[in-house]
Amino acid sequence: MARLVECVPNFSVSKEKDEAVFQGLVDVAKSVPNCMVIDVQSDGNHNRCVFTIVGAPEAIEEVAFQLTKKATETIDMTKHQGQHPRMGSTDVVPFIPTMDVTIEECVEISKRVAKRIWEELQVPSFLYEESASRPERRNLATCRKGQFEGMPEKLLDPDWAPDFGERKIHPTAGIIAIGARIPLIAYNINLDTSDLSVAKKIANSIRAAKGGFQCCKAIGVMLEERNIAQVSMNLTNTDITPIYYVFEMVKALADRYGARIIGTELVGLTPGKALLDCAEFYLKLENFNYRTQVMEYNLL
Amino acid sequence: MARLVECVPNFSVSKEKDEAVFQGLVDVAKSVPNCMVIDVQSDGNHNRCVFTIVGAPEAIEEVAFQLTKKATETIDMTKHQGQHPRMGSTDVVPFIPTMDVTIEECVEISKRVAKRIWEELQVPSFLYEESASRPERRNLATCRKGQFEGMPEKLLDPDWAPDFGERKIHPTAGIIAIGARIPLIAYNINLDTSDLSVAKKIANSIRAAKGGFQCCKAIGVMLEERNIAQVSMNLTNTDITPIYYVFEMVKALADRYGARIIGTELVGLTPGKALLDCAEFYLKLENFNYRTQVMEYNLL
């Protein structure tokens, strides 16, 4: 069984605005052994791109550094324009435990990468999310507030010294947010009602902040084009709060309000185990071990 | 997405009775690139071993030949004793489509391997299961009847010329059954009753032969140590007859006889898709594509 970490670094360049620089990053991402580029998204309006890379912890550490090096050498933030908030050529580098790796190990990876980036590239960084050195730095938006242009002043604020590096940005590469992040599953449940208040009441009942499931964030939203209400969720740890917990609870609460579940959706990449856990639950599987019994896990 | 074939060759040697010869086969199995030895089972009483290997079609074809070559060189059937029926040093070589490969392609693989084994090793073979040249050869037990000792005579029977090779066995390696096989999922459902007739009636209702599901073979058995009845099934194609079909139908039928499902079990390796299909069904997932949305499938 492979140990796997996911890294989803964001860079302040787009294929649409500067294809050569963008392609340079793609080439670097694909050049590091023992990791795989699963997805690359580029947005011209944001003038920004996002890589999704999965691989062995050591390989992920290396590819994160090499990409940052390339971005530092090729992206000049003094000339960058785009709609999305950003503070560096390499803007944010999250590490996400994926298989047989703990969040603590990802925190260590993030700190080693941040240290190396400062020592070898002289780009400072904030540690955010699980790696944060103080509570207010957990939030990426808080770290990034002021953006590239406001950072020189922000770094002089007593509360905003970088976690790695001196109190000044890299002149062209700015500053980076680096950290470990718990894997999120974005899961939405659609109801057969156009009454938004039903979805909101259900969301209120199941979310951690209101006495619901420990690892569930939920809101009620309208899907205007379908005229139905949706419970939109982030599940932050499906080992603790499995998908079938929220499905069954939403089903029961919807019933109480006279509504039914008509469909659900997973947004983006989901670890297979989160779904195999649901198959195990609904099929009442005894002594099931996905690592030995599911063929694909023998190949990873 | 990788194209994968599974091969489960059986050899007439065991770790318990001849570790050196057994290890020779293991070394060959591990020496072929682009395939992976998932499991090796050895049984001293049967004096037999079974490899489970998964890999690219070309690699599987090569490893099947190389293992047969090694077995032909190192196992002498004139000296073999064991409880399990057998007719060759390499006894049976099934090819099973696993991912993005058709059963027809596996039939072609089996024929190419059988041809090469005859041409380069002078070991004859019967094609069986989906590769069979006539209906009675589909069944492995029918092909193997007479075993190694009775084969010289059997091959002279007008009905039993080998599909590849002359009408005589290899003097020390015998003859082989080679063929393509549809992947089987062995799935059992346990009931909260000690009345075997309930399991038998349910099995009768769901199996293909009795008007039930197209790709389901089922019998009722007693689990003596737990004193409960079980519906024991082979699902021969879960794309056509998904696991949740049989689960839901057994649930409904058990209810009709006043019984309940208390647990189920998967025996051996199961393709992940068969279980992801169940998660999709029970969670009512919309627009779900396991190939793009389940992380592990992006790594294969």
pLDDT (tens digit per residue) in A199-225: 999 999 999 888 899 999 999 999 988
Q: What is the pLDDT of residues B186-243, one digit of tens each?
A: 899 999 999 999 999 999 999 988 889 999 999 999 998 899 999 999 998 899 999 9
Contact B186/B138 with Cβ under 8 angstroms? Answer: no
- Whether the CB of B265 is below 8 Å from some CB of chain A: the reply is yes
Q: How confident is the model at residue A62 (pLDDT cuts 50, 70, 90)?
A: very high
Beta carbons of B272 and A262 less than 8 Å apart: no
Query: Does residue B1 register a pLDDT over 80?
Result: no
* Per-residue confidence (pLDDT) for residue B208, from 0 to 100: 85
Q: Is A276 on the interface with B (CB under 8 A)?
A: yes
Residue among A263, A270, A293 whose CB faces B294 most closely: A270
How near does any CA of chain A get to the CA of B237, in Å? 16
In angstroms, the CA B234 to CA B242 distance is: 12
Report chain B's mean pLDDT, rounded to a whole number. 94
Which residues of chain B make contact with A275, given a CB cutoff of 8 A?
A: 275-276, 279-280, 283, 294
Judged by a CB distance cut-off of 8 A, whether residue B23 touches chain A is no
pLDDT category, A67, cuts 50, 70, 90?
Answer: very high
pLDDT tens digits for range B63-104 = 999 999 999 999 999 999 998 999 999 999 999 998 889 999
A19, pLDDT greater than 60:
yes
Q: What percent of chain A has pLDDT over 90?
A: 85
CB contact under 8 A, B268 and A296: no
Share of chain B above pLDDT 70, in %: 99
Set of chain B residues whose Cβ sits within 8 Å of the Cβ of A288: 265-266
Contacts of A54 in chain B (CB under 8 A): 295, 298-299
DSSP A283: T
Annotated catalytic residues of A are 84
Q: Which A residues, 32 through 61, put their C-beta within 8 Å of a C-beta on chain B?
A: 36, 38-39, 54
B298/A38 CB distance under 8 A: yes
Let me know if B197 is exposed, middle or buried by CB neighbors in 10 A (0-12, 13-18, 19+): exposed
Q: ipTM strictly over 0.90?
A: no
Return the DSSP state at A163: S
Q: Are B125 and B168 within 8 A, CB to CB?
A: no
At B158-176, the pLDDT tens digits run: 999 999 999 999 999 999 9
- A291 Cβ neighbours under 8 A, 6+ residues apart: A1, A297
The string of pLDDT tens digits covering residues A122-178 is 999 999 999 999 999 999 999 999 999 999 999 999 999 999 999 999 999 999 999
CA distance A212 to A197: 18
Determine contact: A297 vs chain B, CB below 8 A: yes
How many Å apart are CA B125 and CA B108, to the nearest integer? 15
Beta-bridged to residue B233, according to DSSP, are B187, B218
Whether chain B has a CB inside 8 Å of the CB on A93: the answer is no
Note the pTM of the prediction, 2 decimals.
0.77
Q: Which of B46, B80, B84, B170 is catalytic?
A: B84
Lookup: tokens for B263: 């647990």
Stretch A242-267: mean pLDDT: 97
The confidence score (pLDDT) of residue A1 equals 56
B271 touches chain A (CB under 8 A): yes
A261 contacts chain B (CB < 8 A):
yes
3-state per-residue secondary structure call for chain B: CCCEEEECCEECCCCCCCHHHHHHHHHHHHHCCCEEEEEEEEECCCCEEEEEEEECHHHHHHHHHHHHHHHHHHCCHHHCCCCCCCCECEEEEEEEEEECCCHHHHHHHHHHHHHHHHHHHCCCEEEEECCCCCHHHCCHHHHHCCHHHHHHHHCCCHHHCCCECCCCCECCCECEEEEECCCCEEEEEEECCCCHHHHHHHHHHHCHHHCCCCCEEEEEEEECCCCEEEEEEEECCCCCCCHHHHHHHHHHHHHHCCCCEEEEEEECCECHHHHHHHHHHHCCECCCCHHHHEHHHHCC
Q: For tokens 């964030």, what's the residue? A: A217
Three-state DSSP state, A99:
strand
Confirm if A29 and A62 have CB atoms less than 8 A apart: no
DSSP A287: S
Contact B284 A264 (CB under 8 A): yes
Looking at residue A259, its pLDDT comes to 98
Inter-chain residue contact B279 with A275, CB threshold 8 Å: yes
Q: Report yes or no: A1 at the B interface, CB cutoff 8 Å.
A: no
Contact B272 A300 (CB under 8 A): no
Decide if A219 touches B, using CB distance below 8 A.
no
Mean pLDDT of chain A: 94
pLDDT at B205: 96
- For residue A295, what pLDDT band results from cuts at 50, 70 and 90? confident
A297 to chain B: which residues are within 8 Å by CB? 272, 296
Task: Give yes or no for residue A268 having a pLDDT over 90.
Answer: no
Contacts of B298 in chain A (CB under 8 A): 36, 38-39, 54, 269
The sign one gets for the Cα dihedral A291, A292, A295, A299 is positive
Least CB–CB distance from A264: residue in B271, B278, B283 = B283
Query: What's the pLDDT band for B2 if we cut at 50, 70, 90?
Result: confident
Q: What is the 3-state secondary structure (H, E, C) of B67-111?
A: HHHHHHHHCCHHHCCCCCCCCECEEEEEEEEEECCCHHHHHHHHH
Cβ contact (<8 Å) for B264 and A244? no
CA distance A264 to chain B (A): 5
Assigned token pair, A19 = 């294809």
Of A38, A263, A284, the CB nearest to B284: A263
Q: Which two tokens stand for residue B241?
A: 């007859």
Q: Which residue of B has its CA nearest to A243?
A: B283
Interface test with B, best of A189, A223, A266, A292 (most B CBs within 10 A): A266
A264 to chain B: which residues are within 8 Å by CB?
283-286
Touching A: B residues 177-216, CB under 8 Å: 190
What pLDDT is stored for residue A297 in this prediction? 83
Q: Is B141 on the interface with A (CB under 8 A)?
A: no
What b/e string do you get for A151-175 counting C-beta neighbours within 10 Å, with b at 16 or more?
Answer: beebbeeeebebbbbeeebbebbbb
Compute the average pLDDT of residues A13-42: 94
Torsion on CA atoms A133, A134, A139, A145, rounded to nearest 10: -100
Cα nearest neighbour of A277 on chain B = B279
Helix/strand/coil for A3: coil
B98 touching A (Cβ < 8 Å) = yes
CB B178, CB B114: distance < 8 Å: yes
CB-closest option in B6, B269, B284 to A293: B269
Reading the block at residue B245, the tokens are 């079909």
